[in-house]
Amino acid sequence: MKRKNKVVIPERWKTSDKQIKKMQLAFEFEDLVEKQLKQDALDNGISASSQLRKILNLHYESPLKPRLSVTLSVEDREILAQRYAVKATDRAYIRLGISREIETYYHTLNNQ
């Protein structure tokens, strides 16, 4: 008598079942379409992929706290540290300096 072996999935893997079944597709649109899609996403306060889902009438989630990021090299940190009169290793003050500089830039730009 043959006995079928049943594979037992560990509990910690069961939460990834849905992720395994997902399919990711990448698209290349003509420049006009891509720019408009990105602008619409920006106007709606969502990501470009969420904008695609919105157009397709699929469920999408708005970001909880949208944020921008930048990668800084050692040289970049040294330049900014000198500009803001802080240590190059002081992430918090470099982040604060960048935030203030960017906000000042856009406030000045909008008041011209």
75-103 per-position pLDDT tens digit? 999 999 999 999 999 999 999 999 999 99
Look up the domain containing 55 and give its range.
30-66
**Whole-structure pTM value:** 0.56
- For the chain, what is the domain count? 2
Q: Quickly state the pLDDT bin for 18 (edges 50, 70, 90).
A: low
Query: Which is nearest to 87 in space by CA: 74, 99, 77, 95?
Result: 77
Domain-embedded: residue 10: no
The rounded mean pLDDT for the chain is 87
Same-domain check for residues 60 and 78: no
Domain-embedded: residue 23: no
Q: How far apart are the first and last CA of the chain?
A: 86
Residues 6+ positions from 47 with CB-CB distance below 8 Å: 41, 63
The answer to whether residues 97 and 80 touch, using CB atoms and an 8 Å cutoff, is: yes
The answer to whether residues 41 and 55 touch, using CB atoms and an 8 Å cutoff, is: no
Same-domain check for residues 86 and 59: no
